[in-house]
Structure 1
């Protein structure tokens, strides 16, 4: 089973990205969690470019989504919404359908980020993604300034993430 992890942040020290990196280590045996790092390479969404030969970065993103059993997101909140780079990435796959019935979990690295969570959930639901509530959790990483690998060193957070990915795998397996 392959799961794609997508961070809505381009920051190298992003707590959202750190949470997803931790998931790659916490996944059950036989489950591959791959961190997708190409959303910053996508051009601005333009329907005129969305034809039989989309830009290479778009084709790569679509192929990455099509080749996995589920997707886990973690995104910061900017101005009460998801960052533009993440919304842009999602806009590129609205019409192509990679999220139709695709199991999705959302990790919220800041429990205060309720607007971005609601916005991301609404967008993914409109795209026909299947949100897995038991695998969608909030973890208190905001303001923690953890060093690389620090999420794994925090037993409480690591345990919550490990449980979330296990719940996600179980939900995918029920399909």
Structure 2
């Protein structure tokens, strides 16, 4: 449990509605301990291709909306698959829109990873996000390898992780790190 309400914003690196990364985020959303809420971003796939000429007064409305959601969150959760040994293009594009803005520096971030592999993307994301000055809370890292499993096995694994307290423990560690920085 937390001492004050914690609002988290979850960013999914896959834009496929039925992705395992999104399923993991949805399962985390259902497993929030008291005082923690998670909103899952649905804007990334609609962001225009980043162009520095379109920043400042020319920033698209959807980018401003995306940045505003990040600003109001106490912390971010990132669930991102590895595509061709790297960060999916749409997700990297979303991050590029945030590089020169002030919403993300020092914002706490936790990784939720839906695969038994994909360490290349985790390393690349960590590098990019640390360059952007986000604070990665390593104690909150969550890995549940549901990728590649049938829908039924995924559902069973997600339910077990919820019922066993795996999800709430990771979220509680993240909330404690957020509260400690406040």
Sort the TM-score into its range (normalised by shorter chain).
over 0.9
1:160 offset after TM fit, Å?
2.3
RMSD: 1.8
Find the partner of 2:110 among 105, 121, 134. Answer: 105
Q: What's the TM-score once normalised by structure 2's chain length?
A: 0.90
3-state SS in 2 of match to 1:61: helix
* 2:3 matched residue in structure 1: none
Find the partner of 2:51 among 46, 54, 57. Answer: 46
- The yes-or-no answer on 1:115 pairing with 2:120 is yes
Q: Distance in 2 between matches of 1:157 and 1:110?
A: 20
Q: What's the TM-score once normalised by structure 1's chain length?
A: 0.93
Cα–Cα, structure 1 residues 50 and 128, in superposed 2: closer, same or farther, change >3 Å? same
Note if contact 1:99-1:124 (Cα within 8 Å) is conserved in structure 2: no
More helix by share: 2
Q: Deviations 1:50-98 (Å, cap 9, x if unpaired)?
A: 1224101100110000011000000010011110011000000000021
3-state SS in 2 of match to 1:52: helix
- The yes-or-no answer on 1:165 pairing with 2:171 is yes
Find the partner of 1:77 among 82, 90, 100. Answer: 82
Q: Distance in 2 between matches of 1:88 and 1:55?
A: 14
* 2:67 matched residue in structure 1: 62
* 1:15 matched residue in structure 2: 20
User: How many pairs were matched up?
Assistant: 175
